[in-house]
Amino acid sequence: MKLAKMFSTLVLSLVMVVGAASAALAAPNDDVISALKANHVPNDYIIQAENYLKNHTLTKSQADAVIVQIEKANDFMEAAGTKSIGELSYSQQQVLANCVYAAGDAIGLDVSLTKLSNGSIKVTAKDASGKTVVDFTSSSVKQTGLNNSFVFGGMLLLVLSAGSFIVLRKRALA
């Protein structure tokens, strides 16, 4: 009986340690994603960063170096008075590209940016072995029309209101 309690306590302690360690390892990756979102980085780039970070865990120092570059790029955009890269001059775009290159260097990636004829930017990142780990084209087309999240949110509120009305009505009759 005493041995069983000690064993279960040991197992529970190990589970807690492993759980805390995995949460601690994910924190730098989450910090980078939070910084991207907080600094108004387009969703195309955030999605690619999330996909990359699902398979690669950053150290705290790597994440901090990347976050510095994200904030530096955001500060530059704010100083330029725009949120669109397309509104910047070529030399201003190079300042932002240098932030991207520095962030890639911090995590061991060789990043290349290519502006395509349609205004999109092709982003390619290779690891130290030369293997391509990120390769996508960001579209400069902006979403127009109705945002579906407002429609679904309105529908959800309508269903919740109807449900609340029915519950209150049944309680009043009971």
Residue 112: strand, helix, or coil: strand
Give me the mean pLDDT over the 31-52 stretch. Answer: 86
Task: Identify each DSSP E strand in the chain by its residue range.
Answer: 110-115, 121-126, 132-138
What does the alpha-carbon distance between residue 157 and residue 139 come to, in Å, rounded to a whole number? 33
What does the alpha-carbon distance between residue 59 and residue 15 come to, in Å, rounded to a whole number? 23
Calculate the average pLDDT of the chain: 75
pLDDT tens digit sequence for 99-115: 888 998 998 989 888 88
The H-or-E segment that residue 153 falls in is helix 148-173
What does the alpha-carbon distance between residue 45 and residue 51 come to, in Å, rounded to a whole number? 10
Listed range (27-31, 34-38, 53-57, 121-125) with the worst mean pLDDT: 121-125
Give pLDDT, residue 159: 64
